[in-house]
Amino acid sequence: MWTVDDGISVLRERGAKITAQRIAILQKLEGRKDHPSAETLYKELSSEYSTMSVATLYSTAQLLAEAGLIKILSIDDKRVYFDPATETHGHFLCRKCGKLFDIPVNEDEIFRSASTVRDNIAQIEHTEIFFYGLCSDCLKI
Protein backbone atom coordinates (compact mmCIF):
# COMPACT_ATOMS: atom_id res chain seq x y z
CA MET A 1 0.00 0.00 0.00
CA TRP A 2 1.09 3.52 -0.66
CA THR A 3 0.92 6.66 1.47
CA VAL A 4 -0.05 10.26 0.78
CA ASP A 5 3.67 11.10 0.82
CA ASP A 6 4.27 8.48 -1.90
CA GLY A 7 1.52 10.08 -3.95
CA ILE A 8 2.98 13.56 -3.50
CA SER A 9 6.37 12.27 -4.67
CA VAL A 10 4.77 10.72 -7.75
CA LEU A 11 2.96 13.94 -8.61
CA ARG A 12 6.16 15.98 -8.17
CA GLU A 13 8.14 13.54 -10.36
CA ARG A 14 5.56 14.07 -13.10
CA GLY A 15 5.75 17.83 -12.82
CA ALA A 16 2.28 18.26 -11.33
CA LYS A 17 1.55 21.16 -9.03
CA ILE A 18 0.92 20.04 -5.44
CA THR A 19 -2.39 21.64 -4.48
CA ALA A 20 -4.75 21.23 -1.55
CA GLN A 21 -7.19 19.51 -3.93
CA ARG A 22 -4.62 16.96 -5.09
CA ILE A 23 -3.57 16.22 -1.51
CA ALA A 24 -7.26 15.73 -0.63
CA ILE A 25 -7.61 13.24 -3.50
CA LEU A 26 -4.61 11.30 -2.17
CA GLN A 27 -6.04 11.34 1.35
CA LYS A 28 -9.41 10.03 0.13
CA LEU A 29 -7.76 7.17 -1.78
CA GLU A 30 -5.01 6.21 0.69
CA GLY A 31 -5.64 2.82 2.28
CA ARG A 32 -9.13 2.49 0.87
CA LYS A 33 -10.51 -1.02 0.49
CA ASP A 34 -13.52 -0.10 -1.65
CA HIS A 35 -13.66 1.13 -5.24
CA PRO A 36 -15.07 4.64 -5.20
CA SER A 37 -16.63 5.77 -8.44
CA ALA A 38 -15.41 9.00 -9.96
CA GLU A 39 -18.82 10.47 -9.19
CA THR A 40 -18.73 9.36 -5.54
CA LEU A 41 -15.19 10.60 -5.00
CA TYR A 42 -16.01 13.93 -6.64
CA LYS A 43 -19.05 14.37 -4.36
CA GLU A 44 -16.97 13.56 -1.27
CA LEU A 45 -14.25 16.00 -2.27
CA SER A 46 -16.37 18.86 -3.63
CA SER A 47 -18.30 19.06 -0.36
CA GLU A 48 -15.00 19.87 1.36
CA TYR A 49 -13.32 21.79 -1.46
CA SER A 50 -15.58 24.12 -3.42
CA THR A 51 -12.77 24.61 -5.95
CA MET A 52 -12.48 20.87 -6.69
CA SER A 53 -13.03 20.16 -10.37
CA VAL A 54 -13.76 16.94 -12.22
CA ALA A 55 -10.76 17.73 -14.44
CA THR A 56 -8.43 17.87 -11.41
CA LEU A 57 -9.82 14.56 -10.14
CA TYR A 58 -9.29 12.79 -13.47
CA SER A 59 -5.87 14.30 -14.20
CA THR A 60 -4.61 13.41 -10.72
CA ALA A 61 -6.04 9.89 -10.98
CA GLN A 62 -4.36 9.45 -14.37
CA LEU A 63 -0.97 10.46 -12.95
CA LEU A 64 -1.42 8.06 -10.01
CA ALA A 65 -2.44 5.25 -12.37
CA GLU A 66 0.55 5.85 -14.65
CA ALA A 67 2.77 5.54 -11.58
CA GLY A 68 1.08 2.29 -10.55
CA LEU A 69 -0.45 3.61 -7.31
CA ILE A 70 -4.07 3.07 -8.40
CA LYS A 71 -6.00 1.40 -11.17
CA ILE A 72 -8.68 3.19 -13.13
CA LEU A 73 -11.50 0.79 -13.91
CA SER A 74 -13.71 1.84 -16.82
CA ILE A 75 -16.92 -0.13 -17.00
CA ASP A 76 -19.44 0.00 -19.84
CA ASP A 77 -17.92 3.28 -21.10
CA LYS A 78 -20.19 4.96 -18.54
CA ARG A 79 -18.80 4.32 -15.10
CA VAL A 80 -15.29 4.89 -13.80
CA TYR A 81 -14.03 3.47 -10.51
CA PHE A 82 -10.71 3.99 -8.75
CA ASP A 83 -8.96 0.99 -7.20
CA PRO A 84 -6.14 1.69 -4.73
CA ALA A 85 -5.23 -2.04 -4.66
CA THR A 86 -2.86 -2.63 -7.56
CA GLU A 87 -1.86 -6.26 -7.01
CA THR A 88 -3.34 -8.66 -9.56
CA HIS A 89 -6.93 -9.46 -8.69
CA GLY A 90 -10.28 -9.71 -10.39
CA HIS A 91 -13.50 -7.82 -9.84
CA PHE A 92 -17.15 -8.79 -9.54
CA LEU A 93 -19.68 -6.16 -10.59
CA CYS A 94 -23.30 -6.55 -9.53
CA ARG A 95 -25.43 -5.65 -12.53
CA LYS A 96 -28.34 -4.61 -10.30
CA CYS A 97 -26.87 -2.39 -7.55
CA GLY A 98 -23.47 -1.59 -9.07
CA LYS A 99 -21.40 -2.82 -6.11
CA LEU A 100 -17.87 -3.78 -7.04
CA PHE A 101 -15.98 -6.48 -5.13
CA ASP A 102 -12.40 -7.76 -5.32
CA ILE A 103 -11.92 -11.39 -6.29
CA PRO A 104 -8.57 -13.04 -5.58
CA VAL A 105 -7.03 -14.71 -8.62
CA ASN A 106 -3.98 -16.88 -9.06
CA GLU A 107 -1.51 -14.68 -10.93
CA ASP A 108 0.76 -17.62 -11.79
CA GLU A 109 -2.16 -19.47 -13.37
CA ILE A 110 -3.14 -16.44 -15.43
CA PHE A 111 0.35 -16.03 -16.84
CA ARG A 112 0.73 -19.78 -17.35
CA SER A 113 -2.45 -19.73 -19.44
CA ALA A 114 -1.18 -16.75 -21.42
CA SER A 115 2.14 -18.48 -22.02
CA THR A 116 0.35 -21.24 -23.95
CA VAL A 117 0.02 -18.72 -26.78
CA ARG A 118 3.36 -17.02 -26.12
CA ASP A 119 4.29 -17.12 -29.81
CA ASN A 120 1.59 -14.51 -30.32
CA ILE A 121 2.27 -12.45 -27.17
CA ALA A 122 5.37 -10.28 -26.96
CA GLN A 123 4.74 -8.63 -23.61
CA ILE A 124 1.86 -8.54 -21.12
CA GLU A 125 1.48 -5.05 -19.70
CA HIS A 126 -1.91 -5.13 -18.04
CA THR A 127 -4.53 -7.63 -16.94
CA GLU A 128 -8.14 -6.93 -16.13
CA ILE A 129 -10.55 -9.65 -15.03
CA PHE A 130 -14.24 -8.87 -14.54
CA PHE A 131 -17.09 -11.09 -13.46
CA TYR A 132 -20.64 -9.81 -13.85
CA GLY A 133 -23.80 -11.00 -12.14
CA LEU A 134 -25.90 -10.43 -9.03
CA CYS A 135 -24.49 -9.97 -5.54
CA SER A 136 -25.99 -11.98 -2.68
CA ASP A 137 -28.02 -8.98 -1.45
CA CYS A 138 -29.64 -8.39 -4.85
CA LEU A 139 -30.30 -12.09 -5.39
CA LYS A 140 -32.47 -12.09 -2.24
CA ILE A 141 -34.68 -9.28 -3.54
Q: Is the pTM of this model over 0.85?
A: no
Span 84-104, pLDDT tens digits: 998 889 999 999 998 899 999
Q: How far apart are CA 33 and CA 87, in angstroms?
A: 13
DSSP per position, 65-98? HHTTS-EEEEETTTEEEEES--SS-EEEEETTT-
pLDDT average, residue stretch 25-43: 93
Classify domain 90-140 by CATH number.
Answer: 3.30.1490.190
- List where CATH 1.10.10.10 sits in the chain: 4-83
Span 53-84, pLDDT tens digits: 999 999 999 999 998 899 999 887 788 999 99
Q: How far apart are CA 141 and CA 128, in angstroms?
A: 29
- List where CATH 3.30.1490.190 sits in the chain: 90-140
R_g over Cα of the chain: 17
Q: How far apart are CA 34 and CA 1, in angstroms?
A: 14
Classify domain 4-83 by CATH number.
Answer: 1.10.10.10
Handedness of CA 82, 134, 129, 34 (dihedral sign): positive
